Amino acid sequence: MIKPIYVYGAEVLRLKAEPADLSDREGIAALVQDLKDTLAKADGCGLAAPQIGVSKQVVIVDGDVVSDIYDYLKGFSRTLINPEIIASSAEKTTYSEGCLSVPGIYCDVSRPKKVTVRYYDEDLKEVTEEFDNFASRMIQHELSHLDGDLFTDHVPQIRKKIISKKLQNILKGKVQTRYNIKQK
């Protein structure tokens, strides 16, 4: 089911998400389907459960949306349940990031080039996988949501000052999206 996406200012985006109960297979399957339906409607490359108002450690990423730029992401998609970054590279890369929960704002963010993540997949099988380049970026961005962080938290103070008016407009509901949003 397509859900509204919570935007900047919503309390759920600032909470540390709780682990998903792996014994609740039906609940997890329903949540994953809601995330997939909502992401498809919003035309994004990733979505975390808190962004649809559910403070659980579940994220999805879909590289097909950006495969015209990063051809190696054609067919790349993952569902990560109760994910944990267990290693990250010292080497960093900087990309311009945006977020469905912070519509209309893009900022350069530096993150590790590679990460190794332990997680459960949709079949609730434990997986340990290394991601690099933009796949790593998508995953790190979404996992930040599980800690109550937004990409705007990872930019220099001067950049925060520059985008502050746009953030205030989101808080006031002065933002247009092609997907349904929820303020609080």
Q: Which are the catalytic amino acids?
A: 142
Burial readout 142-160 (b: 16 or more C-beta within 10 A, e: otherwise): bbbbbebebbbebbeeeee
Please name the residue ranges forming H helices in 20-156: 25-42, 133-146
The residues near 164 (Cβ < 8 Å, ≥ 6 apart) are none
Among residues 155, 129, 161, 124, which one has the least CA distance to residue 141?
A: 155
Sign of CA dihedral 73, 36, 4, 14: negative
**Two tokens, residue 14:** 């600032």
CA gap 116, 103 in Å, rounded: 29
